[in-house]
Chains A and B, each alone.
Chain A
């Protein structure tokens, strides 16, 4: 162990985390589940048994059978196929919202924490305000203004989530700012942007990664909710939330149709959450594992 603390780099902050995650059974299972779902969504045209819009007129709302493993919906479309294709819409929406939240929240939080003073006060007040907006309600509000559409709605969700990340990054930045290596870099005349990118960001990023995993789960649920309400993805494109909406309309005829999309959402959200919790436990030595 050396006396001088090594200058951390972003690579060094993220890679050991991934390596340790591989050794955690829950995290490893979650990652495997997520990789399968992401893989299935990318390979949908090749692995799905039918076309997502192909109708089997003789088999509407059919129960699971050899031809249709998970049955069909009210238009005779194969549920398994739509589940596989629907994954891409749901994941796209979740990643979009979190990407927006990260792109806004991380720089703003870092800037507020590093600048301090009245800038920090003003930004913190804005963060507090944004935190009082219920994400889904504002997303509905934005679709009410911009028109219905998944992308608009998820950008709104991302904007509402941004303050959560900003607050985390700000708190970490306040600590890192005091470190000796940041002082040293400043003394050498490093530009602020360089200090933020090379020294502050790698040290502030770990709690963000945890929160990102948890936010992915929340965003996935938000997409499902919006599509269920008819404010997200538009027919005939499949998404898990939209599938649930159709299945619910026909629940008295084919009650089993509400299970595949619901379970898909549950499993994916659970995997994101478990991954996030595992990382949090790993990063925080004071937490006792349940």
Chain B
């Protein structure tokens, strides 16, 4: 089963690389001229044409790009000349810390809220929690980030307004810098977790086997924890996986509010300056992370629920 799931990843990765590489086809006109930028010399254009293999056919270019990518070479930035892979390795931990913290906050707040709403469906508490969840899903997280900065960084200087500190240098400071961005991202996450958990938990709690447990005289608390949560644990895992992917994308925007030098900053600056190799590299890295997360979720799910492996 694990082997089969791993095999399924192969075509997805191949297709993904094809799409990412295909982005180069969107570049207008002569790609080498575009990449070389304004006022480039003939020599520079020829150099770039050769460097990126633009003088060869599309499939050869693609194969070359994949071959290099497999060896950790994602070409070089047109602006700084820095290898793209190095830039990604430098920026990724910052983004990862924010995403991890946001995911943790989302689960820590979303699970109790979802459980509270599911055990009392139709009450004012349920309506209140679900009302806040609707707001959490609709709020633009970068706007929330601004309000958090205004409140917790400018009005009361509890958290820093900008920048980041590497986790390896000073873990406490790193987390302090990541807290506001993570909180801004978590609003949507809490809402998502609470909603999904409520809907799947309500379904389980109203099922026949739970009614039997009630009839048998089991305490409601133990039914909720031992039978309710256990039955929705796979659902919860799937939601957490999808959420992790969504948070990863949303960080791109929130990082801009805090001027954090993460993956978002990297790709946005590259897009504005049309530093195409960097754009391509970051998109590729993000897709690889998403595919890996999905794979991990599926494998964990088959551990949690042995039935999945036998389907």
Contacts and interface: CB of A to CB of B under 8 A. Distances in A.
Nearest to B139: A266
Interface stretch (A7-15, A66-74, A269-277): A269-277
A273 B134 contact: yes
A148 interface: yes
B274 A144 contact: yes
Interface stretch (B79-87, B217-225, B284-292): B284-292
B268 A231 contact: yes
B87 to A, nearest CB: 14
Contact of A244 (B12, B146, B286): B146
Given A133-B16, A274-B134, A144 B140 contact: no
Contact of A290 (B198, B248, B276): B198
Given A134-B245, A145-B279, A290 B126 contact: yes
B119 to A, nearest CB: 13
A251 B142 contact: no
Given A132-B287, A290-B117, A248 B271 contact: no
Contact of B140 (A129, A147, A225, A230): A225
A126 B15 contact: yes
A225 B253 CA distance: 6
Interface size class for chain B?
Answer: 35 or more
Contact of B256 (A126, A228, A251): A228
Interface size class for chain A?
Answer: 35 or more
Interface stretch (B23-31, B46-54, B102-110): B23-31
A99 to B, nearest CB: 20
B121 interface: yes
B202 interface: yes
A251 B117 CA distance: 37
B75 interface: no
B137 interface: yes
A125 interface: yes
A130 B100 CA distance: 24
Interface string A150-186: 0000000000000000000000000000000000000
A224 B140 contact: yes
A221 B140 contact: yes
Interface stretch (A50-58, A78-86, A135-143, A192-200): A135-143
Contacts of A126: 15
Contact of B138 (A217, A248, A258): A217
B294 A132 contact: yes
A262 interface: yes
B23 A141 contact: yes
Given A136-B252, A258-B150, A262-B140, A147 B16 contact: no
B94 to A, nearest CB: 16
Interface string B1-40: 0000000000110011001100110111000000000000
A146 interface: yes
Contacts of A270: 134-135, 138
Given A224-B143, A229-B256, A258-B147, 13 more contacts: A125-B12, A125-B15, A136-B249, A136-B252, A140-B271, A141-B282, A148-B271, A252-B154, A255-B154, A265-B140, A290-B117, A290-B126, A290-B130
Interface of B: 11-12, 15-16, 19-20, 23-24, 26-28, 117, 121-122, 126-127, 130, 134-135, 137-140, 142-143, 146-147, 149-150, 154, 198-199, 202, 245-246, 248-250, 252-253, 256-257, 267-268, 270-272, 274-276, 279-280, 282-283, 286-287, 290-291, 294
